[in-house]
Amino acid sequence: MIRQETHKGKLIEVWHCEKIYDLKSQLKFALPEDIYLKMLDYCNDEYSVEEFIGDELWDKYILFNNSLYKIEDTELYDYDINEFTILNNSEYGYVNSFYNGGTCLSEILESNLRKIHHE
């Protein structure tokens, strides 16, 4: 069912690397062990780490500009608001309303990151 959703939470940077050379091994200590093992099973010649995060972890993590952000989220009801703020160097706060028929929370958050970083 398509409906308006409002989410409030934080994006917390759990990993950053200036140069990505082997994302699969670099994320070993950034992800919980069960998720990391699932990623190893998923990622092969056909599927990339980026696809795994987008397909399987879209509601928990965002990979953006060589950083992995964990989503800490709470769904609210009966609000129509859109805010995205920098809390410190590695955390962002948000309250976002959107219709879930055309997008999802991670797409909204990535769009807000692009606006802040002028991309």
- Rg of the chain taking only CA atoms, in angstroms: 15
pLDDT confidence of residue 81: 78
- CA distances from residue 22 to 34, 65, 70, 103, 119 in whole angstroms, order as listed: 19, 15, 20, 30, 24
pLDDT confidence of residue 2: 77
Which of 61, 85, 63 lies closest to 73, judged by CA?
Answer: 61
Distance separating alpha carbons of residues 53 and 58, to the nearest angstrom: 6
The share of the chain scoring above pLDDT 90, in percent, equals 27
Q: Are 62 and 108 in contact (CB under 8 A)?
A: no
Full-prediction pTM beyond 0.75? no
Domain that holds residue 34: 4-116
Instruction: Specify the number of domains making up the chain.
Output: 1
pLDDT confidence of residue 98: 85
Structure tokens at 14: 């759990």
Low-confidence ranges of the chain (pLDDT < 50): none
Tokens 């990622």 belong to: 43
Q: Are 71 and 7 in contact (CB under 8 A)?
A: no
